[in-house]
Amino acid sequence: MRTISWDIVVDTCLFSPLGLQPRALFSHSWNGLARWFKAHVVSFPKLLGDKRYGMVFLGIHLSYDQPLGFFDADTVRVDASVSLLRRGSRVRLQTEFFAADRRAAEMSFLLCPVAIDDGVSLAARPAAFPESIQEYFLPDERGEQSPPRVVPDLVSTIAARGRELASGSQPFFVHRHYGEVADQWSFTEIPCICESARESLALARHEDVPVLRHGLSKPLRSIDVELQRPYFVFDSGRVDTETYDVDGRLAMIHKLCSSQPGGQLHGTVVERF
């Protein structure tokens, strides 16, 4: 399996006081997919414009290994590898972040290829990559099985083992700065949307539920995301958040919903501290 590597020169926006920013890791990982495709398949503009295929996210996992602070390193190395699953109907991206002689974080993504039906709006439908794209992948980069779904089991385990602490809802609006070229939301904004909901709830309830302070003062251990449908520019959304104490650690379940009647579920995010 082929891996590409590059260095990120450290700047202050890469970190919060608690460590590497989740949004930055999401964004650099997505760039890693574009880098890998450009090196081994085709660039993103040619993939969408000439090949008429794109990719949408189904699942995301981020876990932090060893703490890394702003003053610990001048650069962060990123390793990225890509493989096809389920006869080209799924794509797996894996990225790792290294600095100061240690792995700071690792991410895995599951994506669904989509065939673009409209070159202007980039409207698309799920479709496996054709053989003309699959042939660029080496034999060990092509598999049959998809990874199992993780988030539903996580949600069930947290609800069964944890002690519910507090819950709340927070609206958000998909302005264009939340979006990407197809005028739909960018998945890279998910950590920010959930962090806003988490911190707002913690600030509102930390006095009567002190463990919620961990959502303000403790670094994240992991984020797991399962997506069902996108938001589009100027959509209104809502984050419904439930918080749990699980064996002395804080866990949060965020449901990303439509604010329209019926409240369709767009995705579920689990944060653990």
The domain spanning residue 155 has which CATH number?
3.10.129.10
Give Cα 135 distance to the centre of its chain: 27
Does 185 lie in the same domain as 123?
Answer: no
Per-residue confidence (pLDDT) for residue 145, from 0 to 100: 86
Does 223 lie in the same domain as 179?
Answer: yes
Per-residue confidence (pLDDT) for residue 125, from 0 to 100: 93
Does 40 lie in the same domain as 157?
Answer: no
143 three-state secondary structure: coil
Alpha carbon distance 1, 83 (integer Å): 8
Q: Which two tokens stand for residue 87?
A: 């006869």
Per-residue confidence (pLDDT) for residue 123, from 0 to 100: 82
Nearest CA to 121 among 56, 44, 183? Answer: 183
Does 158 lie in the same domain as 114?
Answer: no
Phi-psi region of 117 (alpha: psi -120 to 50; beta: other; left: phi over 0): alpha
In the chain, pLDDT over 70 holds for what percent of residues? Answer: 99
Q: What are phi and psi of 186, to 5 degrees?
A: -90, 130
Does 115 lie in the same domain as 48?
Answer: yes
Model confidence at 194: pLDDT above 90: yes
Alpha carbon distance 86, 99 (integer Å): 34
Does 8 lie in the same domain as 131?
Answer: yes
Q: Which of 65-74, 238-247, 259-268 comes out lowest in average pLDDT?
A: 259-268
Mind listing the pLDDT tens digit for each residue in 118-165? 877 778 899 999 999 999 999 999 998 888 899 999 999 999 999 999
The residue among 103, 118, 141 that closes a domain is 141
In eight-state DSSP terms, residue 30 is H
Does 216 lie in the same domain as 249?
Answer: yes
The residue among 141, 161, 187 that closes a domain is 141
Alpha carbon distance 203, 219 (integer Å): 16
Model confidence at 260: pLDDT above 90: no
Residues 6+ apart with CB under 8 A from 161: 246, 247
Model confidence at 216: pLDDT above 90: yes
Per-residue confidence (pLDDT) for residue 193, from 0 to 100: 97
Does 32 lie in the same domain as 124?
Answer: yes
Per-residue confidence (pLDDT) for residue 201, from 0 to 100: 97
Model confidence at 237: pLDDT above 80: yes
Alpha carbon distance 64, 67 (integer Å): 7
The residue among 120, 141, 162 that closes a domain is 141
C-alpha distances out from residue 264 to 44, 56, 227, 237, 258, Å? 30, 19, 12, 10, 5
Dihedral of CA atoms 150, 155, 156, 157 in degrees, nearest 10, equals: 80
Does 76 lie in the same domain as 160?
Answer: no
Does 127 lie in the same domain as 191?
Answer: no
Q: Which two tokens stand for residue 99?
A: 């600095």
Domain span at residue 34? Answer: 3-141
Is the C-alpha dihedral spanning 177, 90, 96, 251 positive or negative?
A: positive
Does 129 lie in the same domain as 55?
Answer: yes
Angle, to 10 degrees, between the axis of helix 190-205 and the axis of helix 22-40? 170
Report how many helices (DSSP H) and strands (DSSP E) the chain contains, helices first: 6, 13
Question: DSSP states of 70-87 as a string?
Answer: GGG-SEEEEEEEEEEETT
Mind listing the pLDDT tens digit for each residue in 2-53? 999 999 999 999 999 999 999 999 999 999 999 999 999 999 999 999 999 9
Mind listing the pLDDT tens digit for each residue in 48-81? 999 999 999 999 999 999 999 999 999 999 999 9
Whether 205 maps to a domain, the answer reads yes
Q: Which two tokens stand for residue 93?
A: 């991206």
Average pLDDT, the chain: 95
- Domain count for the chain, please give it: 2
Per-residue confidence (pLDDT) for residue 60, from 0 to 100: 98
Q: Which of 109-113, 117-121, 230-234 comes out lowest in average pLDDT?
A: 117-121
Per-residue confidence (pLDDT) for residue 259, from 0 to 100: 83
Whether 254 maps to a domain, the answer reads yes
Does 85 lie in the same domain as 10?
Answer: yes
Alpha carbon distance 29, 55 (integer Å): 14
Residues 205, 254, 185: CA angle, nearest 5 degrees = 125
Alpha carbon distance 268, 266 (integer Å): 7
Whether 146 maps to a domain, the answer reads no
Per-residue confidence (pLDDT) for residue 99, from 0 to 100: 98
Whether 210 maps to a domain, the answer reads yes
